[in-house]
Structure 1
Amino acid sequence: MADIQAVLSAIDVFSRAPDKASLDRANNWLQDFQHSPDAWATCNVLLLTPDAPPAAKLFAAQTFRAKVTYDLHQVDSANLPGFRDTLVAALERHHAGPRTIIVQLCLAIAGLALQFPSWTNAVQFMIDSFGRNPATVPTLLQFLTILPEELTNNHKIPITDDEYSEREAYLLTANSKQVLELLSMYIQATGVTHAVQAQVFDCLKSWLIAGEVRATDLAKTPLFAYAFEALASEDLFDSAVDVICELIHETQELDENMPAIELVVPHLIALKPQLVAQRDDADKIRGYARIFSEAGETYRMLLLQHPETFFPIVEAIGECSAYHDLDIVPITFPFWMRLAQTIGKKPSTSPLFMDAYRSLMRVIINHLHFPPDSASLSGQEAEDFRSFRHVMGDTLKDCCLVLRTDTCLLATYQMITTALSRGPEAISWQEIEAPLFAMRSIGAEIDPLDDDAVPKIMDLIPSLPNHPRVRYAALLIISRYTEWVNSHPDYIAAQLQYVSAGFEDPDPEVCGAAGQALKYLCQDCKQHLVEFLPQLHTFLSSTGAKLVQDDRQQVYEAIAYVISAMPMVRAAESLRTFSVDILSQIHAATIKPTVITREELQDVGNGLENLEVMLHVIQGFGEVLPPACQTSCEEAWAVLNAFLAKYGGDYNIGERTTRVIRHGITLFGDAALPVVPSVIARMSFAFEATGYPSYLWIAGKMIHRYGNEEDTDLRGSFQEIYERSTNSIVSLLQSKSPSDIPDILEDYLRMLTSMVPAAPDIFFQSSAFPLAFRTSMAALTLVHTDIIFASLDLFLLILTHDCLNPAPPAPPPPKFPIYRSAIQAVVEKDGFQFLTYLLNGLVGDFPEDSTSIVVSIFRAIAWIWGPQLISWLPAVLQQLPAAAAPAEARAQFLSDVSRAVNEKQYDKVKYAILSLNRASRKARERRRAGALDR
């Protein structure tokens, strides 16, 4: 009674809408109670007590389902028949509902049947118990529906594959014929309601999906004809559609199911007139579209082999594709795609299918039309329509596979020219834009050597109406056809003229499309555009300032592609020309006697972005810099250094400048060495002043790139940023939690990870090392995959360093004893806390892929600090949350690790970690599955 009252009190918390802490406590208590052996008896009493609250009965039913899944080992095998009878009695008591309780109890009985080998007649047992009384037949149908679903989908039940195969055979396969007969009887029983008939169909669908009912057997029963007849019923339509689709799917082995297919197809063709009769009922058309599309996909080989019989199915699918409701149309797309792929592999095909795809192409282009009043679409509706247009574009590619790309292009070209021939007053922009969009979608399929269709399109573009939507579509065609233009360079001048005019358009989307077109023209036709570079520089000087930054950045990217195609000396000179423009802007802002405005600072930041994108494309010139770059590194850093000294306190400026420096490392390579100490020193002071992580990020990149250099100034700069940044972060963590500064911690960790192999003398010998170790431990508390990996990678480098190897290389480096002493000191001091973080993360929020790193770290600790590990573990394990690390799993882990250490079999630590991780994952999955839905 005490347990019952405690359960009722915990459940009552949810009805009173208290604070979140109270809800969490109640939910956690109930979940813990579900684990206990006492829950069996308590839940039985709750289910059988008439006046128990509904929420308590549902909890009891959910608990039975969970315990059957996870805890059936708590029930002695001799008591399983009695437990079965308990569940069945509870189900009988609640046969009238609520449905949630019926479902949970049916799931529990299904799970029990799977784990109760001697209960070989479970299905017959349930039929005998519930199938005779009309009032309990719905309960039986619910169980029979759930049984194959649970057996197929519940992978948490602890049985082997062989055991599953054996029990699935006697629970499902051995009973499929009887279930089919039972459902046939119920579907036409005297007085049967539509609700029961819908349940019959749902049950039949479940057994079809499980593969336990063969289509040929189903076709011999009254269920077959009744499924098609039920399409005339409003109440049964959806259930009948589901059954018919599954029935068709089950006939995919064509040869062995031909008798069933011969019965199915006439029924399908007889449904075709319904597409006209029900055209005003979108829900009905959706159902028919599903049926016909499933048939088309399943029988596509038969369609091609026997079009005289099967082609009406293709026609029906075509009607569904042409339907006005664009939520229904995509149901048909997988059919068209797979049929096109099949046709594409054949040397020839029937003209009927060619006509079908011609019709489909016209239908899709018609669907591509924007509404006459596009403003009538809400923001989300417009976005959804734009997204769906791209899906339809994929179906146009399917048309190309059947009809050939040039045929489709010429057809869309003809649509535009026909519309234009009616005169500008008689056409809408939608009539031009939709075929243009189709041309763009087909662009990926065109032949770069085509001399028939594409030239006509390119010649047509300059004469198109000057409407922003039309111009936008035409510019995107140019960006998609640039590989063709590269093979036909005579068109470049005209294309550049059209693209340049696009930048003058007041519509921002047209300008964006012009930027994209220019980028791809320069990327794909860069060899041919070298001679146009002065023209592009002039364009930037005259028009660039008028462009929004996104468009201007695309122009710089385009120019960079052209520069990358030049001979090295000319490329370096051209890069210097464009870079000097940007650096001059930065220098002017730096020396301005007054502080520049926010807008001016934004302009400088945009210039840095443009320089970054150019450097990203060009990359570098190799080991030997061309003459134009010989002094560029020092000159550029002088400008950026002064600029950072004045404006590095702006977050965006710091981000953009450091990204430029990152690409500068790639461009200049070793030639940058003279300025690297100055760069790192600036990053050190900038981070100390601002706390912006980008300064640590770039310092880490430079340490990684130049860490093996022996220059005294360089290594002094490494030590300076290491110690200053560590002290800054320690200070930050006194007022903030690690979760407040995740970006800082991540870039700090990555900087240290670069330092350990490159400069171990600096890393281990510095007074900052103990602080860095402790700071890095704090990062293990974050629920952030990248930061966890960065922290674990650093600890792996530290705790597996060669200096700790009892048999180091001979002779060992002279500083190894110093490193070893430093590491041992921090582990002696912080090892207990580190171990606590490590195991809490393992059973908590560490990413699953991190387990192998944890194993390596743990093995190193066991090897070097075995006695301390055994002394620390009991208290560490005691602190782990019971919900994530069950007591028996903790005890087993302690025993396994102790044995591995005492026997010096350190590789066995791996299996201890994996076992604890597995037990923890299972416990957490169970709690998630058992969480109350409130």
Structure 2
Amino acid sequence: MAEIQSLLSALDVFSRAPDKTSLDSANNWLQEFQHSPEAWSTCNVLLLSPDAPPAAKQFAAQTFRMKVTYDLHQVDEANLLSLRDTLVTAIEHYHSGPRTILIQLCLAVSGLALQLPAWRNPVETLIEKLGKNPVTVPALLHFLTVLPEELTTNTKIPVTDDEYRERAQTILTANAKTVLDLLSMYIQASGVTSAIQAQIFNCLRSWLVAGEISAQEMAATPLLGYAFEALASDELFDAAVDVICDLIHETQEIEDNMPVIEVIVPRVIALRPKLQEVKDDVDKVKGYARIFTEAGETYRLLVLQHTETFFPIVEAIGECSAYPDLDVVPITFHFWMRLAQSIGKKPTVSPLFLDAYKTLMVVIIRHLHFPTDMETLVGQDADDFRSFRHIMGDTLKDCCYVLGTETCLMTAYDMIVNVLARGPSGASWQEIEAPLFSMRSMGAEVDPTDKKAVPKIMDLIPTLPDHPRIRYAALLIISRYTEWINAHPEYIQFQLQYISAGFEAADAEVNAAAGQALKYLCQDCRRHLVDFLPQLHTFLSSVGAKLSQEDKMQVYEAIAYVISAMPMEQAAQSLRTFSMDILAKVHAIVSKGSPATKQELQDVCNGLENLEVMLHVVQSFGEELPPSCQNTCHEAWTIFDAFLAEYQADYEVCERATRVLRHGMHFFGSAVLPIAPSVLARMSTAFERTGLPSYIWIAGKLINRFGNEENPELRNAFRDTYERSTTKVVSLLQLKAPQDMPDVMEDYLRLLLQMIDYTPDLFFQSSAFPLAFRIAMAALTMIHSDIIFASLDLFRMMLTHDCLDPPAVPPPKFPIYAAAIRAVVEKEGLQLVGYLLSGLVGDFPEDSTSVVVTIFRVLTTLWPTQMLSWLPQVLQQLPTSAAPHQVKTQFLADVTGCINSKQPDRVKYAMLALHRASRRARDRRRMGPLDS
């Protein structure tokens, strides 16, 4: 009774509005209770007690399901049949609900049946117990529905593959005909209700999908006919649609199922008039659309081979595609795609299919129309419609695949010409914009050598009305057709004029489209645009101030593509021109003698972002810099150094400046070497003063680039950066938890990884090493995959370093490295082992297991005595919810055995066993004690 009272108290917490502490406490208690052997008897009492509250009964049923899955080993074999009888009796007791309890009990019995060979025929038992009384038939149908689903999908049930195959054959396959006959009898029974008929269909689906009942077997019963007849019933419509779709899907082995297909197809075709009858009921149309498209996809080859017979299905799908509600239309898209792929492989195409795709194209373009009243399209609806237009665009590509791109483009072109012919008063912008959008979608299929359709489109663009949505669509056509323009450079001058006008439009979306068009034009036509670069520079000088930063970035990116196509010296001169324009503004802000305003700083940061974009595109000129670039590296750093000295604490300045430095480092290559110590000194100072991690990010990049250099000044700078950044991170950790500064932790760890890789003498011999070790351990407490991997990689590199297993004649500094590592491990090993095991059974990423095992194996090999003293303390602290007591005990015994037998390599198996056990506990924990 005390156990029951504690359980009821814990459950009661969830019925109130609890604080998080109470909720977590109750949740943990319930999870621990579910693990316990006592839960079996306690839940049995609660389940059958008339006075127990509903939440307790629900919890008891759910606990039975979980314990059957995870804890059946707790029940003596002699009591298993008694447990079966208890659960079957409970199903009978709850035959009328609540449904959530009944389903959990059915799942529990299903899981038990799979693990209990002594129960010879579970299906027969339940039919005998529940199938003869109309009152309990719904409970039987629930059980028969969940049985195949649970047996085929619950991979947590602990049976071997051979055991599973044998039991599935006994429970499911051997009883398939019995179940089919039972369902056939029930569907025709006098007084059968719609609710029971819906259950019958759901049960039938479950056995069909599991592959236990074949389409041919179902077709030999009245169930097939009843399924189609049930479409006339509002109550049964959804269940009937589901079972018909599953039936059709199960006939995809066409040759084996032709007799059934010959029964199904006429019935499906006969449904086509229903589309008109139910046209005002979206849900009904959606159901019929699912049936037609399932038939179309499944019988696609028959549609192609026997077009006259099967084409009514294609026509019905076409009707569904033309339906005005856009929830229905996408149901058909996969069919059109698969059919187009099949048609594309045939030497000749029936005119029926060509007409179908021509109609489909017109239908899709009509669906592309924005509403006449744009105010009706706001918020999420507007976003959804725009996203859906792109999905419809993919179907237009299918039309191109069948009809040819030229035909499709000319159809859209003719639509626009016909609208324009009506004059300004007779044309709506929607009628022009939709075909334009379709041209953009079909652009990916355009042949760069096309001489018929695309020239007409290009000539049409300047004649279009000056409406923002039309200009936006036209600009995006240009951005999509740039490969064609590259093959027809005579159009470039016009394109630049049209794009320039787009930048001057009042509409921000038009500006953005102009930026995108210019970027792709310059990217694909860069060689033709070299002579236009002065024009682009003038354009930037005159219009640049009016552009948004995002648009301006696109222009700089476009210019960079043109520069990348130039001869090297000319490219260097051009890049210098644009770069110095930006750096001059940086220099001006430092030299002005008074603090910069917020807007001035923002303008400079925007300029640096533009420079970053250009450097990203140009990449580099190689190790041999052109004469124009010889002194630029030093000049640029002088400007940056002064700028950061003044404004290093501004976050935006830090981000923008360091990103440019990163690209500059790649661009200038070895030319950076003379200034690298100065850069490192500035980065160290800036990080000390601000704690902004991008400064040590750049330091790590410099070590990666120049770590092999023997320059004494540079190596002193590396050591200085390492020690100063370590001191700063230690001070930050005294104020904040690691999880509150993930960027700092990650960039610091990256710095350490570069140090140990390139400068191990500096890394191990520094007084910063023990501190760095502790910081890396603190990183293991974070729930952040990249940081965990970085930290684990660092520990792996330290503990598997060659100095700990040196060759016969070791390098001179190896003993010093080894002494440093041994000293810190002997001091911090207990805590390190604790973090490793806690993460392994907790929140470490799944892919990190092999690294953890490697680190643990090395610790066991090199520090066996210490490990034997560390492990009991560590295991005691691991939560039992992640590692149950018996699992910890077994792990300790396994590792102790490996150490005592001097077989440390076998530690791997103990670690993997612990990990598997913790995953099972976690899976169970994720379900939660109150999940159904």
Provide the TM-score with structure 2 as the length reference: 0.99
- 2:315 corresponds to: 315
Q: Counterparts of 1:600-615 in structure 2 under 5 Å?
A: 600-615=600-615
Report SS of the residue matched to 2:873.
helix
Give, in angstroms, the shift of residue 258 of structure 1: 0.8
Shift of 1:825: 1.2
Contact 1:560 1:617 survives alignment (8 Å) = yes
Corresponding residue for residue 404 of structure 2? 404
Does 1:236 find its partner at 2:236?
yes
3-state SS of 1:257 partner: helix
Matches of 2:16 and 2:520 in 1, distance apart? 62
2:557 maps to a residue whose letter is E
Query: Given residue 773 of structure 2, which amino acid in structure 1 is its aligned partner?
Result: F
**Letter of the 1:885 counterpart:** A
Q: Which stretch of structure 1 is more off in the superposition, 854-863 or 571-580?
A: 854-863
Report how far residue 545 of structure 1 moved. 1.4
Q: Deviations over 1:292-341 (max 9, x none)?
A: 01000001111111121111111110010011110111001011010111
Shift of 1:810: 5.1
1:222-621 alignment, distance < 5 Å = 222-621=222-621
Letter in structure 2 aligned against 1:925: D
| 5+ long unaligned stretches in structure 1 | none
**In structure 2, what is the Cα distance between the partners aligned to 1:216 and 1:777?**
63
How far 1:77 sits from its partner (Å)? Answer: 2.3
Q: Tell me how far 1:828 sits from its aligned partner.
A: 1.3
User: Offset at 1:931?
Assistant: 2.9
- Distance in 2 (alpha carbons) for counterparts of 1:817 and 1:703: 24
Provide Cα deviations, 1:40-97, integer angstroms capped at 9, x if missing partner.
1111111111111111111111111111111112222222221111111111111111
- Cα RMSD for the two superposed structures: 1.1
Match of 2:132 in 1: 132
Structure 2 Cα separation of the partners of residues 546 and 385 of structure 1 = 31
- Conservation of the 8 A alpha-carbon contact between 1:560 and 1:614: yes
Give the gaps of 5 or more residues in structure 2: none
Q: Is the 8 A contact 1:608 1:660 kept in 2?
A: yes
Tell me the equivalent position of 1:865: 863
Deviations 1:475-498 (A, max 9, x none): 001111111111111111111111
Matched residues in 2 for 1:858 and 1:85: separation?
47
- Mapped contact 2:31–2:928 kept (Cα < 8 A): yes
- 2:880 match: 882
| Contact 2:881-2:921 within 8 A present in 1 as well | yes
Which residue number corresponds to residue 893 of structure 2?
A: 895
Q: Please list, as runs of the form range in 1=range in 2, the aligned pairs for 1:915-930 lying within 5 A after superposition.
A: 915-930=913-928
The answer to whether the 8 Å contact 1:304/1:349 transfers is: no
Give me the whole-angstrom Cα distance separating, in 2, the residues matched to 1:600 and 1:422.
Answer: 52
Q: Deviations over 1:580-627 (max 9, x none)?
A: 101101101110111111111100000000000100111111111110
Kindly provide the CA deviation profile for residues 567-588 of structure 1, in whole angstroms up to 9, marking residues without a partner as x. 1111111111111101101101
CA distance in 2, matches of 1:695, 1:878: 41
Structure 1 distance, partners of 2:798, 2:85, is: 60
User: What is the SS of the residue equivalent to 1:346?
Assistant: coil
Kindly provide the amino acid, as one letter, of the partner of residue 248 in structure 1.
I
Residue 844 of structure 1: SS of its match in structure 2? coil
- 1:881 and 1:77 mapped to 2: Cα distance? 30
CA distance in 2, matches of 1:931, 1:396: 50
Deviation track 1:777-817 (CA, whole Å, cap 9, x = no partner) reads: 11110000011111111111111111111xx2453221111
Question: Using a 3 Å threshold, how does the CA distance of structure 1 residues 811 and 670 change in structure 2: closer, same or farther?
Answer: farther
Q: Is the 8 A contact 1:900 1:909 kept in 2?
A: yes
**1:184-215, CA deviations, whole angstroms, 9 ceiling, x for partnerless residues?**
11112111111111111111111111111111
Aligned equivalent of 2:116: 116
Q: Aligned-pair distance for 1:2? A: 2.4
Is the 1:227–1:240 contact (alpha carbons within 8 Å) kept by the matching residues of 2?
yes
The Cα of 1:905 is off from its aligned counterpart by: 2.1
Return the offset for 1:903: 2.7
One of 911, 914, 918 as aligned partner of 1:913: 911
Per the TM alignment, residue 446 of structure 1 is displaced from its structure 2 partner at its CA by 0.9
Deviates more, 1:518-527 or 1:27-36: 27-36
The aligned residue for residue 851 of structure 1 is: 849
AA at the equivalent of 1:214: S
The question of whether the paired residues in 1 share the 8 Å contact of 2:34 and 2:929 is answered with no
8 Å contact from structure 1 (residues 62, 930) kept in 2: no
- Matches of residues 704-783 of structure 1 in structure 2 within 5 Å? 704-783=704-783
Whichever residue aligns with residue 656 of structure 1, its letter is R
Residue type of the partner of 2:737? S
Q: 1:930 Cα shift?
A: 4.2
CA shift at 1:901, angstroms? 2.4
- Supply the AA of the counterpart residue of 1:424: P
Are the aligned partners of 2:361 and 2:399 in contact in 1 as well (CA < 8 Å)? yes
2-structure distance, mates of 1:886, 1:39: 16
**Structure 2 CA distance for aligned equivalents of residues 308 and 796 of structure 1:** 68
- Distance in structure 2 (CA, Å) of the matches to 1:552 and 1:160: 63
Q: Which has the higher contact order (CA 8 A, sep 6+)?
A: 2
SS of equivalent residue, structure 1 residue 256: helix
Query: SS of the residue aligned with 2:270?
Result: helix
Identity of matched residues, %: 70
- Three-state SS of the structure 2 residue aligned to 1:551 is helix
CA distance in 2, matches of 1:336, 1:931: 46
Q: Which amino acid aligns with 2:889?
A: A
- In the alignment, the residues of structure 1 paired with residue 329 and residue 505 of structure 2 have an alpha-carbon distance, to the nearest angstrom, of 35
Deviation at 1:899, TM superposition (A): 2.3
Aligned partner of 1:904 in structure 2 is 902
CA shift for structure 1 position 17: 2.6
Q: Distance in 1 between matches of 2:143 and 2:470?
A: 59
- Greater alpha carbon shift after TM alignment, 98-107 vs 920-929: 920-929
Instruction: State the Cα distance separating 1:755 from its structure 2 match.
Output: 0.6
Give the match for residue 156 of structure 2. 156
Matched-pair contact (CA < 8 Å) for 2:883–2:921: yes
- Of 835, 838, 841, 1:840 maps to 838
* Contact 1:66–1:930 (CA under 8 A) maintained in structure 2: no
Could you say what secondary structure the match of 1:829 adopts? Answer: helix
Letter in 1 for 2:356: A
Task: Tell me the amino acid that sits aligned with residue 854 of structure 1.
Answer: V
What is the CA-CA distance between 1:375 and the residue it aligns to?
2.0
Count of residue pairs the alignment pairs up = 932
Counterpart of 2:562, as a letter, is: V
Question: In 2, Cα distance between the equivalents of 1:423 and 1:873?
Answer: 86
Give the letter aligned to residue 887 of structure 1: H
Structure 2 residue identity aligned to 1:701: K
Runs (4+) of structure 1 exceeding 6 A deviation are: none
Task: Find the aligned partners of 1:8 and 1:644 in 2 and give their Cα distance.
Answer: 63
Contact 1:333-1:395 within 8 A present in 2 as well: yes
Matched residue type, 2:443: G
Q: Distance in 2 between matches of 1:211 and 1:399?
A: 36
Which residue matches 2:809? 811
Deviations 1:329-376 (A, max 9, x none): 100101101011110111112100110000000000000000001122
Name the stretch that deviates more: 199-208 or 113-122. 113-122
8 Å CA contact retained: 2:590, 2:642: yes
Give the corresponding residue for 1:645. Answer: 645
